[in-house]
Structure 1
Amino acid sequence: MWFRKLGLVTIVSIYLLVLAGGIVRSTGSGMGCPDWPKCFGMWVPPTEVSQLPPNYQEIYAEKLHGEVEFNSVKTWIEYVNRLVGAFTGIVVFGVFVASFSYRKRDKKLIFLSFLSVILIGANAALGKFVVDSFLKPGVVTAHMLLAILVVFVLLYSIARAWSEVIETEKVTNKPTLNKILLLLLILSTAQVLIGTQVREAIDKIIANPIFGYDRSTWIEQLGLSFYIHRSFSLVLLGLHVYLIIQLKKNIQAEGILYKFFKALVLLVIVEIVSGAVMAYFSVPAYIQPVHLTLAIVALGLQFVILLLLNSEKVFQKETA
């Protein structure tokens, strides 16, 4: 029981970490703390410039790449992001410890939980490299891809544990539904990565001293990746609607699977709306992290539905 409950806390904390990371990115706070794991050489960062050494600009000029003026808001946004990351790491390790209660019933959960610890540690190390490389585009994308992998591993572990106490409704024509779901999962992951490329293009625009701070010009300066990302969202919406129509035809009773399917379609619609708000209202900073988090939540929900749809095969227990 503790494993299942702690697992849910872990998933929530992972999504909060994605949201916090999105806020850091949208507010340009990635270099709010120029060093890692400390912030301006302190475990608790300063709130005003008087708490820093008089020559702090010289000390951190190279790491800040010219952004040498202390900004307490950006510093604390980045610091809170790190705190959420640290809490997530602790909870993930707690899940690993709790997994030993399954050593007689399902040894695979111990392995999966340990893998989660390794992956979350690797992503933390990659996060440090993101800071050291001054938000290098390729590194940021890798950081996001690894975060998605962490979500999938944790969701598989938790769904495997919860499969003991929940029942899914009977569904016919599973091969067709599986194919559509798998296609959606692949295309949605690609869509998230394309979105990351769009964000990297925005970072380049921001770096331009002429246009960087005029949000109204950002969209018109974006290249092909933005138009692919925007148009592709409608394709994904169509596939999700088609999927739920197929499920409706092949379901015998409306249970947890059908509820998850409806939630997924609603989530995709809200995500598209948030994307439209960014495109037509000069990329508001408060919408960017919401848009990203919704995308990762939708990916996780697709993955869980795929697991539950095939629960009889996926969650077979091998205790020997």
Structure 2
Amino acid sequence: MTTRSLPTRGSFIDRFIPLNVNAWVRLLGIASILVNFLLVLTGGLVRLTGSGLGCPTWPRCTSETWTNVPAMGIHGFIEFGNRTLTGAVGIVALLTFISVWRLRGRYTDLFYIALALGLGVIVQAIVGGVSVWLRLNPWMVGVHFMLSGVMVAMAAIFYARVRRYSMRRVIETERLSDRPGPDNLQRFLGVVIAVVTTIAVYMGTLVTGTGPHSGDTDSARHAFNPEVVTRFHTIPVWILLLLIVAILVLAKRKNWAPAVSKSAWTIVIVMLFQGAIGYTQYFTGSPGVLVWFHLIGAGLLIWSVTCLFERMVVLGTPTLRNLAESRVEIAEANGIV
């Protein structure tokens, strides 16, 4: 009869609070993206079903209870469900922060991103509470959504870096050592697409804040002309599409890493989906289901643009490229890759 030895305390800590980036840290990276993305989608569901004040107070759901009660109906259930999901986001953020605690000396970027994700959960909860106090003021709701976008972006950067620091195939796909440097143009365009995307998404919040889906029948709306604000929203979107086309052309001419073109094509696909939904929404009076799909597209756009932005900044900066290669070599030496 054979016996299986139990894992020691040290092996448990090394796995879940490692000294090098491992599969557990990568898993938490993708979990961070997914829970923050899901929070965006459930927030959209709250708004589109008119459940924004399903829990009329904050931090309690009502003045007497912390949770919804049956008398509040489906609106209370949906709104409280969204609040509960914030707790799941917080748990993932805490686990992510703990997982990089012993890495903080050598992987300072991962440590500070994980810290920012944790603090972001608290800020998001407070902003959401203020939105309830202000009866879903569209300006505050817009800020709430933009913060969600920032959380998705930070999680995407975290995941991109833990993969690059611990997986040889990622380094080989990006072909860091083959790139001439420095490449200021690549780095500059990465920053520009991030800025333009931020403007496009924010203008999208103004369009939504002007439209019919306020989250509650008594909530205020923006006083903008819907047609005018929608056209202003499309301007940065078209600029972004032109920039992505330019990046695809430059990537071929300047022999940028194949991963850059791959990320750019992903954005093109997302933008085609988003554009089809957006124009259909515009000509059909913004039915709720299309608004929700447009929200999915916005989240995917933030995710995909962040991936390209992060990749172009790293590949366009020799010191960051060299740092990435040195870290994957450490991972290989420790049997992590």
Tell me the TM-score range normalised by the shorter chain. 0.7 to 0.9
Residue 47 of structure 2 contacts residue 215 of structure 2 at CA under 8 Å; is this kept in 1? no
Residue 32 of structure 2 contacts residue 89 of structure 2 at CA under 8 Å; is this kept in 1? yes
Aligned partner of 1:294 among 297, 304, 323: 297
AA aligned opposite 2:228 = L
AA aligned opposite 2:308 = I
User: How many angstroms does 1:179 deviate by?
Assistant: 3.0
AA aligned opposite 1:298 = L
User: How many angstroms does 1:124 deviate by?
Assistant: 0.9
TM-score by length of 2: 0.75
* Residues 1:197 and 2:203 aligned together: no
User: How many angstroms does 1:204 deviate by?
Assistant: 8.8
Change (3 A) 1:313 1:74: farther
Aligned partner of 1:267 among 262, 266, 270: 270
In the other structure, the counterpart of 1:66 is: none
Cα deviation code 1:272-313 (max 9, x no counterpart): 111012111221111212212322321232222222233343
* Residues 1:138 and 2:139 aligned together: yes
Change (3 A) 1:203 1:283: closer
* Residues 1:96 and 2:97 aligned together: yes
* Residues 1:234 and 2:238 aligned together: yes
1:78-97 paired onto structure 2 within 5 Å: 78-97=79-98
Distance 2:271 2:214 in 1: 28
Distance 2:37 2:215 in 1: 26
* Residues 1:8 and 2:30 aligned together: yes
Distance 1:74 1:262 in 2: 39
Residue 32 of structure 1 contacts residue 76 of structure 1 at CA under 8 Å; is this kept in 2? yes
Cα deviation code 1:57-102 (max 9, x no counterpart): xxxxxxxxxxxxx5x2222221221122211111111100111242
Cα deviation code 1:86-130 (max 9, x no counterpart): 111111111001112423531342232112211221111111111
Total equivalences in the alignment: 288
User: How many angstroms does 1:205 deviate by?
Assistant: 8.7
* Residues 1:308 and 2:311 aligned together: yes
Indicate the percent of aligned positions where both proteins have the same amino acid.
23
In the other structure, the counterpart of 1:113 is: 114
1:170-189 paired onto structure 2 within 5 Å: 170=178, 174-189=183-198
In the other structure, the counterpart of 2:330 is: none
Give runs of ≥4 in structure 1 deviating > 6 Å.
204-209
1:144-183 paired onto structure 2 within 5 Å: 144-164=145-165, 165=167, 166-167=170-171, 168-169=174-175, 170=178, 174-183=183-192
Distance 2:180 2:303 in 1: 23
TM-score by length of 1: 0.79
Q: Secondary structure at the match of 1:163?
A: helix
* Residues 1:125 and 2:126 aligned together: yes
User: How many angstroms does 1:208 deviate by?
Assistant: 8.7
AA aligned opposite 1:259 = K
Change (3 A) 1:238 1:103: closer
AA aligned opposite 2:93 = V
User: How many angstroms does 1:33 deviate by?
Assistant: 1.2
In the other structure, the counterpart of 1:19 is: 41
Residue 4 of structure 1 contacts residue 158 of structure 1 at CA under 8 Å; is this kept in 2? yes
Change (3 A) 1:159 1:253: closer
Change (3 A) 1:182 1:253: closer
User: How many angstroms does 1:163 deviate by?
Assistant: 1.6
Residue 172 of structure 1 contacts residue 250 of structure 1 at CA under 8 Å; is this kept in 2? no
User: How many angstroms does 1:240 deviate by?
Assistant: 2.1
Change (3 A) 1:204 1:106: closer
In the other structure, the counterpart of 2:287 is: 284
